[in-house]
Amino acid sequence: MEEILLSIRNITKNFGEGNVLSGVSLDVRRGEFVTLLGASGCGKTTTLRIVSGLETPDEGEVILDGRDVTALAPEDRPVNTVFQSYALFPHMNVEKNVAYGLKVRGEDKKVIAARVKDMLELVQMSDYAKRMPAQLSGGQRQRIAIARALAPQPKLLLLDEPLGALDLQLRRQMQIELKRLQKKLGITFIYITHDQEEAINMSDRIAVMRGGRFEQLGTPEEIYDRPKTRYVAQFIGRSTILEGTVRCVGNETAVIENANGWFSVSAKDALLKTGQKAEVCVRTERMRASRTPLDVFGLPATVREVRYAGGSVEIFAAMKDGTEAVATSDQPLASAPKAGETVYLHWTIGQAAVIGGASYDA
């Protein structure tokens, strides 16, 4: 058994109005949960449709289980899709929907019945076998769409924003269930979402897409803690981005200076050189604001607004040139800095990331 189940290489796709995909490559391991994350129009759905065969790439190839399937029709690929709109067959009941993939394959009736029963049990919808799709709620349709796609035992399951139409609470519950299902069945998932929280919670690896390319490909931790580009830093999580020039590089820390003052980042594996320009990303929950200056930081800012954020307090402060920073404080609202006060921004040195240069150490 090969380790890599799916390999897409240098995929390019153009619908006549510029490239939707320009050279996308991705290797997906067996049993892996890979998420394509990006804003709408970034090419994530097109990538998925090329894997399923519903779209043909202009260039590049799709290798599934060691076989080139680029020219294969969707019905001939051992890949199934859970569509964003669920796309249940409205004229068939739940049971027939789930059975369809097995029926067209010409499976024995008994085999189909048993498999449908298993699938409905798996998604906890056994009581709804005879219902029509129009009689189901959004969450129930979602489960049937998953059961239907899983029934033919695909090598790879593609999910196109499957939870996009559900309300927040149901979405959280389905995230957990989906992840559990994936682990239990050991099926490889390629998952599309524009919700960064969903991506971080569920994935083994995330590919952040932008303008038809992969901006960064890595584990949720890598993506969150060591963003390679400013776009990734801003798209995932909330953060303050500081620009500056490297003033000196020591063994442990490097000091960066800009118009607002100076601050420190870890020098480990950051490859920073004195005189170089650098962008630093500090996550909102890791940014601190104290009333007194700290030794390796000199970043004064004026508090604009203080907000209670449930369990913690968020401090919005403007630096000298007007750049806004958001810091978190664990103090109660009453004792937190007030609007108009001067605070000094700081963080644990290892917790800031030099964008593209990776200076985070855990």
Partner 1 sequence: MAGSKRKKKRNLFSPIYLTLVLLILYLPILMVVVYSFNAGRTISAWQGFSTNWYTRLFSNGLMKDALVNSLVLAGLSAALSGGIGTLGAIGISRSHFKFKGAVESLATLPMMIPELVLGMAYLALFTGVGVKLGMGALVLTHTTFCVPYVFINVKSRLVGMDPAIEEAARDLGAKPLRVLFDITLPLIMPAVISGMMLAAAMSLDDVVISFFVTSAETTTLPLKIYTGLRSGGTPEINALSTLMLAAIFIFVGLSQLIKAKSDKMTSPR
CB of 241: closest distance to partner 1 in angstroms? 39
Provide the binding-site residues for partner 1, judged by CB under 8 A: 52-54, 73-76, 79-81, 83-85, 87-91, 100-101, 104-105, 132, 134, 148-149, 152
Largest CA distance in the chain: 76
- Both tokens of residue 132? 């029509």
Neighbours of 60 (CB within 10 A): 17
Say if strands 156-160 and 79-82 run parallel, antiparallel, or are unpaired.
parallel
CB of 152: closest distance to partner 1 in angstroms? 6
How far from the centroid of its chain's Cα atoms is residue 63's Cα?
A: 23
Which residue, 88 or 289, has its beta carbon nearer to partner 1? 88
Which residue, 104 or 339, has its beta carbon nearer to partner 1? 104
Say if strands 213-218 and 205-210 run parallel, antiparallel, or are unpaired.
antiparallel
Q: How many CA atoms lie within 13 A of 104 on its CB side?
A: 10
- Both tokens of residue 46? 């097109």
Distance in angstroms (rounded) separating the CA atoms of residues 94 and 74? 23
CB of 157: closest distance to partner 1 in angstroms? 11
CB of 80: closest distance to partner 1 in angstroms? 6
From residue 203, how far is each of 198, 240, 349 by CA, in Å?
8, 25, 28
Which residue, 162 or 244, has its beta carbon nearer to partner 1? 162
Q: How many CA atoms lie within 13 A of 274 on its CB side?
A: 5
Neighbours of 165 (CB within 10 A): 15
CB of 227: closest distance to partner 1 in angstroms? 33
Long-range (24+ apart) CB contacts under 8 A made by 163-166 are: 163/193, 163/195, 163/198, 164/84, 164/193, 164/194, 165/84, 165/85, 165/138, 166/138, 166/139, 166/142
DSSP bridge partners of 264: 255
| Alpha helix positions (H), the chain | 44-52, 94-104, 109-122, 138-150, 168-185, 196-202, 220-225, 230-235
Note whether 338 and 331 are within 8 A (CB): no
Distance in angstroms (rounded) separating the CA atoms of residues 21 and 10? 9
CB of 337: closest distance to partner 1 in angstroms? 50
Which residue, 90 or 186, has its beta carbon nearer to partner 1? 90
The pair phi, psi for residue 318, each rounded to 5°, is -105, 135
CB of 141: closest distance to partner 1 in angstroms? 8
Which residue, 16 or 311, has its beta carbon nearer to partner 1? 16
Note whether 119 and 150 are within 8 A (CB): yes
CB of 83: closest distance to partner 1 in angstroms? 4
- Both tokens of residue 221? 């931790």
CB of 90: closest distance to partner 1 in angstroms? 4
CB of 151: closest distance to partner 1 in angstroms? 8
